Amino acid sequence: MAAESIIESVGEKITPHIRYQYRMQEILQRELKQRRRLDAGVGDLDASSLASGRSRTARQDRRALRKRFSR
């Protein structure tokens, strides 16, 4: 991407690092959104209540978590 930015800026009034910055900004924003979505899912998990729960629902939740994270 850096090389493309250099080549594309030849003969223009914009410097290569500015073009590179704009290109990388889109990619970094997309990665940040994805990370926030993943962090939100993990942050909602309260494992302490699952560990102590003896109810059928708690056992099902533990089983689902083990299955999900064993992949």
Domain ranges of the chain: 2-69
Measured distance CA(23)–CA(29) in Å, rounded: 10
Encode pLDDT of 52-66 as tens digits: 666 777 777 778 887
Question: Is the pTM here over 0.85, yes or no?
Answer: no
Measured distance CA(64)–CA(70) in Å, rounded: 10
pLDDT at 65: 80
Sign of the alpha-carbon torsion through 59, 62, 68, 69: negative
Tell me the mean pLDDT in the region 16-27: 86
Provide the pLDDT confidence category of residue 18 given band limits of 50, 70 and 90: confident
Encode pLDDT of 26-52 as tens digits: 888 888 888 887 766 655 555 555 556
